[in-house]
Structure 1
Amino acid sequence: MSIFTYSTYEDIPTLDDVKREISSIVGLHKIKIQLEKIVEKIISAENDASYSFRVVPPKPFHMVFVGNTGTGKSTVARILGKLFYLSGALPSYDVIETGLRGKMKTGDGGILLVDIDERDLDSNKLEEIISVMDEEETSVIFAGNRMALNQSMKLNKELYKRFSASLLFEDFTCEELAMIIEKKDE
């Protein structure tokens, strides 16, 4: 799998940009609610800071995205990268997508989105990822279907302890798929 970097620093995102991006997502109702709660926490922290209250940025945390291909996992990772950056949890909002096959590239202070495929499981790569997780400058998100993620967790018993959240991405309905296609044509 190739490595993709999704952001540039030409247009630094604002909370309003991210809120619009969240509201434009088709489907994913439960996940959108969780994203909106993160936005509310950032706004609350900004308000506290404006009153000179000491605000401690959250530490980056690692997540698991469970879902089939094409269910919006990469889209949500990009939004989370922006939210974590805006909250001060990460020094960058870059999202680097990679798999376990080939050369590993770190998240460079942003998010490392690791696409897990049961055919590509490699215990050495998992050890490499664990070392990135322990550095606390990059948030690691494992994304894949339930079977692949379970196999990767069984391959390294220390891995599952490092994840603080798991999001379930349900398949889109026919109506939602039609809405996505319609938005792409605009």
Structure 2
Amino acid sequence: QDLAAALAELERMVGLEPVKQQIRALSAQMRMSRLREARGLPAAAPKRHFVFSGPSGTGKTTVARLLGRLFHALGLLESDRLVEAQRPDLVGEYLGQTAVKTGELIDSALGGVLFVDEAYALAGSGYTKGDAYGDEALQVLLKRAEDDRDRLVIVLAGYPEGMDRLLVANPGLTSRFTTRVEFPSYDAGDLARIADHLAAACGDVWDEDSGAELRSITAHVCEEGWIDELGNARFMRTLYEKACAYRDLRLIGLPGEPDREELTTLRLPDLLQAYGETAGGRF
């Protein structure tokens, strides 16, 4: 039941078909592996460590959380807990402290998923021969990925070019993190559907004019190549939330009390003001 619920939530995510296909295949492999074990057949150990590569706002953290639920539902993890971290959570103020700090972070994630966002930041260039602090954290991650492979799932995430740089600089990672999941940017249609879903989840609707303008905006930011910089789904959430704020500001200035329709309808002026504030001067 938990497995079916996690997979159903995956399917409800807008777009991301290549990602969904990989997670479906992974789930099927894990389920068949357990069935083989139950029948006394040899079974390959499930892949437990992943590289998630894609622009900001494309669902990497959400999918990592669902991955934890899948592993937990199949009895491969003690819990579905996700521990999120970035470079400052792993790197100490001096050499030696980093190993301790990284080890303690990993300890806190045992039994669940450790999600390291912007993992490429661990391959900086603070020293002539590289980043000694980041390298120390990576060496601990690599060792614990092997030593605790039955109790831990690790996801290293970041934008594609940064993750390429990280993997090239640290060949040991490719032998431990053998599965790479590529998260594509959202297209204009997906972005509009995300905005529709965000509104519907809160009982709101875009009226005809704002709905048409919304689709014009999503097409424009994609055509101009701005969407990754703006943050994909994160941009749509910010746009929706600001449109709601401008709607409320508009309604408070009207005489009398707004009715239910007015309280839940987002109109063209609300969206245009929100876009003007959110787009950072891009028109």
Q: Structure 1 length normalisation: TM-score?
A: 0.79
Is 1:84 the counterpart of 2:71? The answer is yes
- Contact 1:58–1:88, Cα closer than 8 Å, also in 2: no
Which residue in 2 is equivalent to 1:100? 87
Is 1:133 the counterpart of 2:145? The answer is yes
Q: Percent identity?
A: 25
**Residues 33-81 of structure 1: per-residue CA shift (max 9 Å, x gap):** 22223344455567678xx634869445211111011111111111111
Q: CA deviation at 1:156?
A: 2.7
Which residue in 2 is equivalent to 1:34? 22
SS for the counterpart of 1:166 is strand
SS for the counterpart of 2:88 is coil
- What is the CA–CA distance in structure 2 between the aligned matches of 1:60 and 1:93, rounded to whole Å? 16
SS for the counterpart of 2:172 is coil
Gaps of 5+ in 2: 91-101, 124-133, 202-283
Counterparts in 2 of 1:87 and 1:54: CA distance versus 1, 3 Å: farther
- Contact 2:68–2:82, Cα closer than 8 Å, also in 1: yes
Instruction: Pick 1 or 2: higher relative contact order, CA cutoff 8 A, min separation 6.
Output: 1
CA RMSD for the aligned pairs? Answer: 2.5
Which residue in 2 is equivalent to 1:53? 39
Gaps of 5+ in 1: 1-12
Aligned residues: 172
Greater CA radius of gyration, 1 or 2?
A: 2
- What is the CA–CA distance in structure 1 between the aligned matches of 2:60 and 2:116, rounded to whole Å? 11
SS for the counterpart of 2:186 is coil
- What is the CA–CA distance in structure 2 between the aligned matches of 1:110 and 1:76, rounded to whole Å? 14
Superposed, 1:1-186 pairs within 5 Å as 14-41=2-29, 44=32, 53-54=39-40, 58-103=45-90, 104=102, 105-106=105-106, 107-116=109-118, 118-121=120-123, 122-135=134-147, 136=149, 137-185=151-199, 186=201
Counterparts in 2 of 1:42 and 1:63: CA distance versus 1, 3 Å: closer
More helix by share: 2
Where does structure 1 differ by over 3 angstroms across 4 or more consecutive aligned residues?
38-49, 54-60, 117-121
More strand by share: 1
Q: Which amino acid aligns with 1:26?
A: V
SS for the counterpart of 1:76 is helix
- Contact 1:60–1:138, Cα closer than 8 Å, also in 2: no
SS for the counterpart of 1:143 is strand
